[in-house]
Amino acid sequence: MKKNMNSTLLLLFFFSFAAVIPNLQANIGHFDPYVRKQAEDAAEYNRNHAYVQNPIETVNHVNDHVHKVFAGRNSTKIERKLGKYHGPCLATNPIDRCWRCRADWANDRKRLADCVLGFGRHTRGGKRGKFYVVTDPSDNDLVNPKPGTLRYGVIQTQPLWIIFARSMVIRLSEELMIASDKTIDGRGANVHITGGAGLTMQFVRNVIIHGLHIHDIHPGSGGLIRDSLDHYGFRTASDGDGISIFGSSHIWIDHNSMSNCKDGIVDAIMGSTAITISNNHMTDHNEVMLFGASDGYSNDTIMQVTIAFNHFGRGLVQRMPRCRFGFFHVLNNDYTHWLMYAIGGSRNPTIISQGNRFIAPPDTNAKEVTHRVFATEDVWKQWTWRSQNDLMMNGAFFVESGDITPSLPYSKQDMISSKPGTFVTRLTRFAGAINCFVGKPC
Ligand SMILES: *[C@@H]1O[C@H](CO)[C@@H](O)[C@H](O)[C@H]1NC(C)=O
Ligand SMILES: *[C@@H]1O[C@H](CO)[C@@H](O)[C@H](O)[C@H]1NC(C)=O
């Protein structure tokens, strides 16, 4: 018995070690002076400029905007109908309301940059920059990428709004290292990032990822990769995340369809903050979102993430998200499938779950939405994990803990209540990449 337990513990130890160490090393093979400076600048910016002192104000700001969409209309009767939607263009949540359903969207693409809500709400991506058009789906030169490729666009110094000349499939040979002040805007084309490595933001800020299909992402083997005009460096093997956010801030990930990546679909670690993940449709994946990679990395306390209007769909297993240390606002998402649990964490994260719909799986052992690890009950009882206006179906239940208003340093401002989970089918109806055509409402 004792021997058994020891070997289990040992296994667990090796397992978590193996999972944690590569993340913390950033796949940076050589921490040269350029990368070191970048890391220091990003840490200073994230802590002193991107992190907000009063997260409740941000929580209320999003909820205010959701309420405005429904002002004067209290009916919950409009439900998601089965099958594909063929009616006139509908914008059903406050982010979409801000830009969608205009026939001139292709002439006014940058309007999107003013639509983000939540902790990522100051993200403007490449709004101040020129357009860059991806014409070439190849990815053959990682140090001197060819003009016309996606990789050439994302490493530029100046802000850029990156669009696609036509539908294409891009197989990334290694991680795509995205520099600051970029928008990748897949609208008007059917863009699949698949069969290779994923997207990485490391020590950067101000990036929008919109309207892409990201799926079947594999670990890259590493090598020399350019991350800016001024620098390339040696990177070790990547984990196979769809989107990896590392020491970065002001990131907005909106309206993407994502599935089946080797590691996480979206992972944000190493003191990343000011992130909004909205309107995405995720399917067929095990560990969906990881926020904070290590129980020992308390600098993740500054992590602030909004997860809103997403559809967590078929074939998902766990981590929607799995959190450490920071503040996580999980608002008006539709959880229609999970196999193990929906929301988990360790190390005292604050989780405000509002107005989601949680539909538990048939498995009687997997009805609990929440999952706490590496803490005894007397410890996790102190963590602020609150559920408000969530719609629980098929036996789903959320085990709450802590105070509704997190203790100081947060202000005593009251949290306003969210739109209830009964509205979620409407709010998330158009989650995922939208099929937009030039000249038609999108
Ligand atoms: C909708 O509900 C709110 C709160 O319950 C109420 O104050 C408001 O008057 C209602 N609006 C309509 C149009 O019924
Ligand atoms: C954590 O943040 C502090 C303050 O910014 C910094 O001095 C320290 O090096 C960071 N720790 C790690 C492990 O990065």
Q: What is the pLDDT of residue 206?
A: 98
Q: Which atom of ligand 2 is nearest to the CA of 47?
A: 5
Tens-level pLDDT at each residue, the chain (442 residues): 333 333 433 344 444 344 444 455 668 877 899 999 999 999 999 999 999 999 999 999 999 999 999 886 655 555 555 567 888 999 999 999 999 999 999 999 999 999 999 999 999 999 999 999 999 999 999 999 999 999 999 999 999 999 999 999 999 999 999 999 999 999 999 999 999 999 999 999 999 999 999 999 999 999 999 999 999 999 999 999 999 999 999 999 999 999 999 999 999 999 999 999 999 999 999 999 999 999 999 999 999 999 999 999 999 999 999 999 999 999 999 999 999 999 999 999 999 999 999 999 999 999 999 999 999 999 999 999 999 999 999 999 999 999 766 554 455 567 889 999 999 999 999 999 999 999 999 9
Q: What is the pLDDT of residue 27?
A: 82
Q: Which helix (H) or strand (E) holds 371?
A: strand 370-372
Q: How far is residue 185's CA from residue 124's CA, in Å, rounded to a whole number?
A: 12
For the record, the structure tokens of 66 come out as 């959701």
Q: What is the DSSP letter of 423?
A: G
Residues with CB under 6 A from ligand 1: 72, 74
Domain that holds residue 350: 33-69+85-428
* Residue 441 belongs to a domain: no
Outline where DSSP puts E strands in 198-341.
Answer: 199-202, 205-210, 213-215, 223-228, 231-235, 243-246, 249-254, 257-259, 266-269, 273-278, 281-283, 285-287, 289-291, 304-308, 311-312, 316-318, 322-324, 327-331, 334-335
* Residue 21 belongs to a domain: no
* Residue 76 belongs to a domain: no
Q: What is the pLDDT of residue 109?
A: 98
For the record, the structure tokens of 305 come out as 């993430």
Q: Whose CA is nearest to atom 1 of ligand 2?
A: 299
Expressed in angstroms and rounded, the spacing between residue 299 Cα and the centre of ligand 2 is: 6
Among all bound ligands, the one having the nearest atom to the CA of 75 is 1
* Residue 11 belongs to a domain: no
Q: What is the pLDDT of residue 404?
A: 66
Q: What is the pLDDT of residue 15?
A: 41
* Residue 440 belongs to a domain: no
* Residue 309 belongs to a domain: yes
CATH code for the domain in which residue 265 is found:
2.160.20.10
Expressed in angstroms and rounded, the spacing between residue 59 Cα and the centre of ligand 1 is: 22
* Residue 239 belongs to a domain: yes
* Residue 75 belongs to a domain: no
Name the domain count of the chain: 1
Among all bound ligands, the one having the nearest atom to the CA of 43 is 2
DSSP characters for 65-130? HHHHHTTT-------PPSS---SS----SHHHHHH-S-TTGGG-GGGGGG---STTTT--TTTTSE
Q: Whose CA is nearest to atom 7 of ligand 1?
A: 72
Q: Which atom of ligand 1 is nearest to the CA of 72?
A: 13
Expressed in angstroms and rounded, the spacing between residue 418 Cα and the centre of ligand 1 is: 14
Residues with CB under 6 A from ligand 2: 43, 47, 299
Please give the positions annotated as active site.
Answer: 319
Model confidence pLDDT, tens digit, residues 313-347? 999 999 999 999 999 999 999 999 999 999 999 99
Expressed in angstroms and rounded, the spacing between residue 354 Cα and the centre of ligand 1 is: 20
243 and 267 in contact (C-beta within 8 Å)?
yes
